[in-house]
């Protein structure tokens, strides 16, 4: 039987061996194979980790032997000896799983130091302080991550010695004090472990390797894997790498470089370095590093070698590299290279430049920009110079990006009025409700004192691209005196503030905003994205203006047109309220008749913009009590207006009150009780479509969507109601019209019964807000009371109302989509609502084969880019095979 | 190629051919094969129905030919001729699907009558009135069910002719008026169908057969099948049977008999008959039938034949039969036989008698009683003689059975006080809340003016076996004047009323109740049930008294012990409220410390009763605001009692308010925020178990249940909290204890993640109330606003809070159970809550292989019987193969 290979020298592996060597090991192998000067080392495989667990958590002789053999080769390659007395080999030990994950063991550096080798190192580097400091750090880290001794205990020792020597910062520690620190550390170690600090370097190494293996099963790592649905049987690899020293001599040094400018994207190497120094010195900020150009003067050969290699690396990795290098006695080593972080502007420029230079293809270029980041380029901002010296007067959650200034007004009506007079307005309220929509349309920004990222204000503002900050806790609004106290200062209506929706900061006074000019590269990129966006992107739009915006941004349809917002207009709301207060069907129908012409015009407006593009109109969804007035004053006003007694209004309000309105009398349940509501809406849709078809000589196919369906009996009844109404209406008009009737999938039961429902529906549209609420049993309105606790304690990876819960709601989406396609392989399935504009959620929809996502018009570019990238990644992974 | 057989004479089929011949056809075949005198006929197969749909909905030549041939044989067997002029054959045409379902076509009787044959029949029967009446009925039914003419139009014609002849009832119609009716009917038919009424009897038959086929796809039938998850491709069979006439002569007659007495169960034939009459005459009640014994005198040979055959039928069917027979010219025919409906007492007696007589085995006997019906025998009742002349003063929903009398009191505290003084009390309230528990414990009955079958009052009363009526709409309670207006009469506290929980009736004054003596046969039956109850039945019990009752009724454990009720006691509620109002962890812990000794004693009490039987204790579940006072007076009282300002209490109440409390901060979410609550509860459990173990020298294994889990991250954290607490406590006590930690499966997400959760749980317990709420998106508290509409319109087959929704919630139960058992085949899985006591729901749990159901102590006998029956039916179906 052939021996199993448990250790790979860096040059024995390759990039494809990620599962066996881990991500880090595969990367090191790649560099080594490309001939880059990498400090020699080897990787212990993930398979070894798994066998370690099968082997009572002990390193068995065969594995030990391979480790010893690999170490011997490293000694030969470096000319150093592990634990040696003339030129001791020091190594780093690092974990490296196939998928990067937190919770695993940290790096142990300088392993191989003991009471003897530390003095050899002191002589070799001619820097005893450095050697001692390395040793004390090693003892500290080893004790912490390998021996699990509480790190605070070492910090306490260090602090007391610093105090004694009157040294404040770590870098002020002298040789003398470090000698004491090491002595005391060893005492502490003995007390904790009942053993002397390990002087045998091979014992050090063995223990460090075991500690990496063990860390695979520590609690944080297990929780992380559970949270992300990752397998517990992958195991981790261990990387053992020889250390190099940039502080060896004056022909030594260390530095960091980017192969292109990460801020502007300019194609020019950009970096810094320090002579006779270790990486830490750069981080500690004691010495100021020199620009990389200077290296040309100091060590011209090294500079030439460096600049040639890194350009080759860029081509080889096909991306801008962020490279750490060290020079040890004139010899260049690469410690790490990775793709460089960059600004949105740089990302755009680099992607398109590299395509033009022939380094990457169009598909790859598409994957090189972060959609979320690029989207920011489209919103106005404040000048960063201006902001530098300003303190925000309040900080809230950045609910909707953009920068705006304006005068404070405290209710929607005043905002609408003042805007009409030409004023710049900002709506400031505790929170917003559907009553405030008109104000939100007219203001420059919305600021609320309560609510979270998924509150009404946040959702609606993002939907209309309005700058918005929510949950500003230090804002105290007094509606009676019409004043706002922010911090210590009291503002009156008409006072100016400025609002940065990207950061959640509110500033005093009027700050100038600047529009970001959409860069030419963005336009190019979006053209490419269109070629590869294989999943449709539609928009949520409830009126002709939004529909037009959606088209401008490139939407190919309306995924969700809510009809409830249409009833909040000045005059219509009274008819809506009359309808709700009606005692009998006749009065109800009479009020609905008054609403009918408005509804028809609403739909005509949208159809005139969208023409033949699909526009999914959702029939009335919210519970009726949402439309009734909430304050005494409003009740009184309504009573006068429609001539219904105050008692009657209050009585009906009380009767409609619900303990759990989310799970109450709403959605299609309204139409089961009051079919005349949907009848009116359907009549309006049919007449609007027929009239616009005639007007523009086109062929609109209405898409009608029924909310909150729970099963087929409900759907049979309502589909019949809708179809009968359509047929009767067309009969009356003597017209023809194709139409589609689909449903919202919002209840868990709809997901479970998707197969039956698919037989009765022309399309499915997931309403993932409600579905998330019911899947978790989280009320979106109440979730904020404990969500922070859940997210900070890692009980939830993210807010499931912002990013789809793949393991729960995602499983439902897959289940329902698969079941529907079994019945009807061509079934159109999409999602609408907040998740449709969230990149991670869009990828989940793509994964499960949805036909479209629908999002706010302002998120369409982002969504398209995300979809194009998903396609690109898929194509790239196919090419990889 | 062999010809496909589409028609079967009754004696060609057999009982096993249900799928091909339908239920009715298979039954007729069985009788015919047993040699019973059945009027000859034949069945057209379900396959013919399906091919009919594949064949453009036309009867094709091959099928027509087989129908003709079969009809010819029937003519030979009866000696009559279809459409014949001397002895015409008349037939009935009936639908009969494999599974009985409403919505299908009704029966057409007397097919074969036309203007000629009607006169022949008149002469043959010497009863022209009868012949004419049969003809007019035939025209009316044929027009309605075959030709879809609105039946009201025929009724209008009939009414106007009756008015003209001054005849009120149908049976007053004379020959003269019937002649006019038939004439007018034919006019109406011609107007509607543009054709004369069909005189060709073969056309009549063909159209009737087609109408049966068509009715398979009518709307009502489709909705019914969707609602019950039935296949649409079964098809229906058609039964064509010759008619016989009991009014042919004085040696003709008709009757009904039971092979045993259906009221008492006595083993003696019991029945009635009429000479020279048709079945309708019995129903119309014009003539008084004679007891069957008299037949012995009139037609002794027929009587002997009849009594011999029916006793054989009973043995052959192995059950008491309800038989319809007709005698035509001294010849006996059986028209129908079916299992007889019987009273609870008769069912018990017959089952045990037939077992003793060797007719059925024990398993079959078990299946012969309706558990719901037999359970009624256990509750006290009013004397039916007494009730006969009484009118109830109010009618509500029969929420919990039993009969009780008592004096009205309007709040829980007064009830407790008066009961303490030895009074018989009835608690009358708008609705009940957890505050009222003490009153509900002490009263004889609970009556509420609002609420449905799943309201708090109904659920809790059923749980404690307390008689209860809810939703008495004519009861008007005035808490201020301490009076109750029922109808027109005003009652004061202390006035007597009587309450019948089985019917929902409230009576004035004090009616005597009588305890039902548990019949000896019931005891025997329950012993048999114990042998076959293969799924465990546990009880829901929150205190030692209920636990004792559970044991008395035969429970093998506690499936659900709610801990929240324990905090409502007089003194404890203040500590609970102090805990909730605490500003910091210390104050909270301090209040919890005060609750700890109570909790420990609660659990000790339960453990002393249950000993080593499993007792699943659910940790705190409801949102904290449920424990705070609701009225100003109570707030004031609390403020004084615990020395916290009224403002503070109101402020905290406001902060804890939730928009959708069902989906809010409750269940294990409380323990994520306030781990100290569960810590206290777990400490109490551990100490209680250890102390009782010592006291009784037994080995209790605590079962701890975490509510409202949504995923594994939550469970890892809370399981650790609980285990750490247990370990620390055992350490302190220097004691040992095994324990199990399980979870409630109440959220859809828990069902989706069951596989992960199974790795971290020792048992699963479905909370189907919450799961139903979240699966449908129905708030139980608000559902009553539209539930009637949903149930009456058949959008829901039943109230899903009473009977498990198999297609939705049941699918979740199956999904989660299967997933859990994949990880751990021995995983204990059960359900607790209301559904655990509902027969149909219990069967669903049985179907999906659950280990136990848990129900109120008073439902245990019923549940055991249901489970035993499920096992019995399974064994019987295996024997059948």
Residues 109-138 of A with CB under 8 A from B: none
pLDDT, mean of residues A723-740: 97
Two tokens at B258? Answer: 């039971």
Q: Is B808 within 8 Å of chain A by CB?
A: yes
Q: Is A808 within 8 Å of chain B by CB?
A: yes
Are the beta carbons of B662 and A713 separated by less than 8 Å? no
pLDDT, mean of residues B190-209: 95
Q: What is the pLDDT of residues A225-248, one digit of tens each?
A: 877 777 888 899 999 999 998 877
Q: For A776, which of B226, B747, B808 is closest by C-beta distance?
A: B747
DSSP letters, A801-820, are TTS--IIIIIHHHHHHHHHH
Cα–Cα distance measured from residue A829 to residue A764, given in angstroms and rounded to the nearest whole number: 5
CA diameter of chain B: 103
Q: Is A832 a catalytic residue?
A: yes
Are the beta carbons of A659 and B782 separated by less than 8 Å? yes
Cα–Cα distance measured from residue B802 to residue B412, given in angstroms and rounded to the nearest whole number: 27
pLDDT, mean of residues B194-215: 95
Tell me what pLDDT residue A223 has: 78
Has residue A167 got a pLDDT over 50?
A: yes
Are the beta carbons of B658 and A781 separated by less than 8 Å? yes
Tell me what pLDDT residue B394 has: 93
Tell me what pLDDT residue A186 has: 96
Has residue B286 got a pLDDT over 70?
A: no
Has residue A106 got a pLDDT over 80?
A: no
Tell me what pLDDT residue A510 has: 94
β-partners of residue A394 are A506
Q: For B795, which of A222, A672, A781 is closest by C-beta distance?
A: A672
Are the beta carbons of B226 and A756 separated by less than 8 Å? yes
Tell me what pLDDT residue B880 has: 52
What is the pLDDT confidence band of residue A541, given thresholds at 50, 70 and 90?
very high
Please say whether the beta carbons of A125 and A132 come within 8 A.
no
Tell me what pLDDT residue A798 has: 86
Question: H or E segment at B568?
Answer: none
Tell me what pLDDT residue A533 has: 84
Question: Which of the following is catalytic: A49, A468, A832, A845?
Answer: A832
Question: Which of the following is catalytic: A379, A444, A456, A625?
Answer: A456
Tell me what pLDDT residue A454 has: 67
Q: Is A468 a catalytic residue?
A: no
Q: Bigger pLDDT: A455 or A311?
A: A311
DSSP letters, A376-441, are HTTS-EE-HHHHHTPPPSEE-EEEE--EEEEEEESSHHHHHHHHHTT--EEEEES---GGGHHHHH
Q: Is B752 within 8 Å of chain A by CB?
A: yes
Q: What is the CA radius of gyration of chain A?
A: 33
Bridge-based pairing of strands B852-855 and B237-242 is unpaired
Are the beta carbons of B661 and A660 separated by less than 8 Å? yes
Residues 254-293 of A with CB under 8 A from B: none
Q: For B786, which of A665, A711, A749 is closest by C-beta distance?
A: A665
Q: What is the pLDDT of residues A660-702, one digit of tens each?
A: 999 999 999 999 999 999 999 999 999 999 999 999 999 999 9
Residues of B in contact with A756 (CB under 8 A): 226
Q: Bigger pLDDT: B145 or A201?
A: A201
Determine the distance in angstroms separating the CA of B748 from the nearest CA of chain A, rounded to an integer. Answer: 5
Average pLDDT, chain A: 91
Task: State the DSSP code for B325.
Answer: E
Two tokens at A805? Answer: 């819960």
What stretches of A577-702 adopt beta strand conformation (E)?
615-618
Residues 371-430 of B with CB under 8 A from A: none
pLDDT, mean of residues B179-198: 95
Q: Is B791 within 8 Å of chain A by CB?
A: no
Residues of A in contact with B808 (CB under 8 A): 710-711, 748-749, 752-753
Residues of B in contact with A710 (CB under 8 A): 776-777, 808
Determine the distance in angstroms separating the CA of B849 from the nearest CA of chain A, rounded to an integer. Answer: 20
List the one residue out of A524, A634, A649, A639 whose CA is nearest residue A583.
A649
Q: What is the pLDDT of residues B520-532, one digit of tens each?
A: 888 899 999 999 8
Helix, strand, or coil (residue A137)? helix
Two tokens at A101? Answer: 């994950």
Residue B758: C-alpha distances to residues B621, B668, B814, B827 (Å) = 21, 17, 14, 8
Are the beta carbons of A749 and B669 separated by less than 8 Å? no
Residue B244: C-alpha distances to residues A167, A639, A769, B593, B649 (Å) = 118, 72, 66, 84, 82
Q: Which residues of A200-215 are buried (b: 16+ CB within 10 A; e: fewer)?
A: ebeebbebbbbbbbbb
Q: Bigger pLDDT: B704 or A512?
A: B704
Lowest mean pLDDT among A448-457, B23-32, B251-260, B722-731: A448-457
Residues of B in contact with A749 (CB under 8 A): 775-777, 805, 808
Q: For B774, which of A717, A774, A793 is closest by C-beta distance?
A: A774
Please say whether the beta carbons of A812 and A746 come within 8 A.
no
Residues 692-711 of B with CB under 8 A from A: 708, 710-711
Which phi and psi angles does A519 have, rounded to 5°?
A: -70, 150
Q: Is B728 within 8 Å of chain A by CB?
A: no
List the one residue out of A674, A662, A580, A562 whose CA is nearest residue A619.
A562
Residues of B in contact with A746 (CB under 8 A): 777
Tell me what pLDDT residue B881 has: 43
Q: What is the pLDDT of residues B313-347, one digit of tens each?
A: 899 889 999 888 999 889 999 988 888 888 888 99
Residues of B in contact with A805 (CB under 8 A): 749
pLDDT, mean of residues B731-736: 96
Q: For A661, which of B660, B713, B748 is closest by C-beta distance?
A: B660
What stretches of B227-293 adopt beta strand conformation (E)?
237-242, 253-258, 270-275, 290-291
Question: H or E segment at B726?
Answer: helix B712-733
Tell me what pLDDT residue A881 has: 43
Q: What is the pLDDT of residues B756-791, one digit of tens each?
A: 999 999 999 999 999 999 999 999 888 888 888 898
What is the pLDDT confidence band of residue A280, given thresholds at 50, 70 and 90?
low
Are the beta carbons of A669 and B786 separated by less than 8 Å? yes
Q: Which residues of B336-354 are buried (b: 16+ CB within 10 A; e: fewer)?
A: bbeebebebbbbbbbbbbb
Determine the distance in angstroms separating the CA of B779 from the nearest CA of chain A, rounded to an integer. Answer: 5
Two tokens at A343? Answer: 């600004």
Residue B449: C-alpha distances to residues B418, B430, B454, B720 (Å) = 22, 5, 14, 46
Cα–Cα distance measured from residue B796 to residue B787, given in angstroms and rounded to the nearest whole number: 9
Please say whether the beta carbons of B564 and B620 come within 8 A.
yes
Has residue A877 got a pLDDT over 80?
A: no
Helix, strand, or coil (residue B635)? helix
Q: Is B753 within 8 Å of chain A by CB?
A: yes
Has residue A550 got a pLDDT over 80?
A: yes
Alpha-helix runs per DSSP H in B424-455? 437-442
B176: exposed, middle or buried (C-beta count within 10 Å: 0-12, 13-18, 19+)? exposed
Strand arrangement of the beta sheet that strand A489-492 belongs to: A475-478, A483-486, A489-492
What is the pLDDT confidence band of residue B601, given thresholds at 50, 70 and 90?
very high
Has residue B302 got a pLDDT over 80?
A: yes
Two tokens at A198? Answer: 């390990």
Please say whether the beta carbons of A615 and A606 come within 8 A.
yes
Has residue B362 got a pLDDT over 60?
A: yes
Tell me what pLDDT residue B454 has: 67
Quickly tell me which residue has 């062929």 as its tokens: A699
Please say whether the beta carbons of A878 and A851 come within 8 A.
no
Q: For A748, which of B663, B748, B794 is closest by C-beta distance?
A: B748
Nearest CA in chain A to B708: A777
Residues 605-664 of B with CB under 8 A from A: 658-664
List the one residue out of B284, B281, B224 whose CA is nearest residue B253.
B281
pLDDT, mean of residues B145-172: 88
pLDDT, mean of residues A620-645: 91
pLDDT, mean of residues A62-67: 96
Residues 664-683 of B with CB under 8 A from A: 664-665, 669, 672-673
């Amino acid at each position: 039987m052939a021996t199993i290979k448990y250790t790979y020298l860096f040059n024995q592996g390759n990039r494809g061996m990620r599962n066996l060597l881990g991500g880090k090991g595969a990367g090191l192998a790649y560099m080594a194979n490309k001939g880059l000067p990498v400090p020699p080392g080897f990787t212990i495989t993930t398979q070894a980790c798994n066998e370690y667990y099968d082997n009572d958590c002990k390193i068995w002789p065969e594995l030990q032997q391979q480790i010893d053999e690999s170490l011997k080769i490293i000694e030969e390659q470096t000319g150093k000896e592990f634990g040696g007395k003339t030129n001791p080999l020091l190594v780093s030990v690092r974990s490296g799983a196939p998928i990067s994950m937190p919770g695993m063991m940290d790096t142990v550096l300088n392993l191989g130091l003991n009471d003897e080798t530390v003095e050899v190192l002191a002589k070799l580097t001619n820097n005893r302080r450095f050697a001692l400091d390395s040793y004390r750090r090693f003892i500290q880290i080893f004790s912490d991550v390998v021996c699990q001794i509480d790190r605070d205990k070492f910090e306490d020792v260090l602090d007391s010695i610093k105090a004694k020597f009157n040294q404040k910062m770590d870098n002020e520690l002298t040789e003398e004090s470090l000698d004491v620190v090491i002595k005391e550390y060893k005492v502490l170690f003995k007390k904790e472990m009942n053993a002397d600090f390990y002087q045998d370097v091979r014992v050090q190494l063995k223990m460090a390797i075991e500690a990496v293996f063990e860390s695979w099963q520590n609690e944080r790592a297990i929780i992380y894997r559970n949270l992300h649905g990752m397998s517990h049987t992958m195991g981790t690899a261990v990387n053992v790498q020889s250390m190099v020293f940039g502080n060896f001599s004056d022909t030594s040094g260390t530095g960091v470089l980017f192969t292109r400018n990460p801020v502007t994207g300019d194609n020019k190497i950009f970096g810094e370095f320090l002579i006779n120094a270790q990486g830490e010195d750069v981080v500690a900020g004691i010495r100021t590093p020199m620009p990389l150009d200077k290296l040309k003067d100091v060590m011209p050969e090294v500079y030439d070698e460096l600049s040639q290699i890194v350009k080759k690396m860029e081509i080889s990795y096909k991306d801008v590299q962020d490279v750490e290098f060290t020079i040890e006695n004139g010899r260049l080593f690469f410690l790490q290279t990775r793709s460089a972080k960059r600004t949105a502007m740089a990302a755009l420029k680099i992607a398109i430049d590299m395509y033009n230079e022939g380094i990457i293809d169009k598909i790859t270029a598409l994957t090189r920009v972060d959609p979320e980041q690029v989207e920011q380029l489209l919103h106005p901002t404040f000048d960063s110079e201006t902001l530098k010296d300003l303190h925000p007067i309040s900080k809230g959650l950045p609910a909707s990006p953009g920068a705006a200034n304006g005068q404070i007004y405290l209710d929607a009506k005043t905002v609408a009025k003042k805007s009409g007079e030409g004023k710049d307005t900002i709506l400031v309220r505790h929170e917003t409700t559907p009553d405030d929509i008109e104000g939100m349309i007219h203001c420059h920004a919305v600021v609320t004192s309560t609510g979270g990222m998924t509150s009404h204000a946040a959702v609606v503002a993002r939907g209309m691209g309005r700058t918005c900050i929510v949950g500003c806790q230090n804002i105290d609004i007094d509606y009676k005196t019409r004043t706002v106290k922010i911090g210590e200062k009291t503002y009156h209506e008409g006072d100016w503030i400025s609002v940065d929706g990207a950061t959640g900061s509110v500033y005093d006074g009027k700050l100038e905003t600047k529009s970001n000019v959409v860069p030419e590269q963005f336009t190019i990129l979006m053209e490419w994205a269109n070629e590869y966006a294989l999943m449709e992107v539609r928009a949520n739009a409830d009126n002709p203006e939004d529909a037009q915006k959606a088209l401008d941004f490139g939407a190919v349809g309306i995924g969700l047109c809510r009809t409830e917002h249409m009833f909040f207009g000045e005059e219509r709301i009274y008819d809506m309220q009359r309808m709700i207060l009606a005692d009998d069907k006749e009065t109800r129908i009479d009020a609905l008749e008054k609403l009918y012409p408005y509804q028809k015009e609403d739909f005509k407006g949208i159809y005139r913009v969208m023409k033949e593009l699909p526009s999914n109109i959702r029939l009335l969804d919210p519970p009726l009590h949402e439309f009734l007035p909430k304050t005494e004053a409003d009740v009184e006003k309504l009573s006068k207006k429609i001539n219904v007694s105050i008692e009657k209004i209050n009585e009906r309000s009380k009767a409609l009150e619900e303990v759990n309105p989310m799970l109450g009398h709403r959605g299609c349940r309204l139409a089961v009780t009051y079919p005349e509501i949907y009848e009116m809406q359907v009549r309006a849709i049919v007449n609007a479509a027929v009239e616009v078809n005639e007007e523009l000589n086109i062929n609109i196919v209405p898409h009608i969507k029924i909310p909150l369906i729970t099963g087929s009996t409900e759907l049979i009844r309502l589909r019949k109601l809708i179809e009968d109404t359509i047929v009767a209406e067309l009969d009356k008009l003597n017209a023809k019209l194709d139409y589609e009737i689909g449903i919202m999938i919002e209840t868990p039961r709809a997901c479970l019964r998707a197969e039956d429902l698919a037989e009765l529906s022309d399309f499915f549209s997931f309403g993932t807000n409600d579905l998330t609420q019911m899947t978790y049993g989280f009320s979106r309105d109440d979730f904020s009371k404990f969500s922070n606790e859940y997210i900070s304690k890692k009980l939830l990876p993210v807010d499931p109302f912002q990013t789809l819960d793949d393991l729960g709601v995602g499983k439902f989406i897959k289940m329902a989509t698969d079941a529907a396609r079994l019945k009807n392989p061509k079934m159109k399935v999409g999602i609408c609502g907040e998740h449709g504009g969230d990149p991670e959620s869009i990828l989940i929809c793509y994964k499960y084969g949805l036909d479209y996502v629908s999002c706010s018009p302002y998120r369409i570019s982002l969504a398209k880019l995300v979809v194009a990238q998903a396609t690109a990644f898929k194509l790239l992974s196919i090419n990889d095979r």
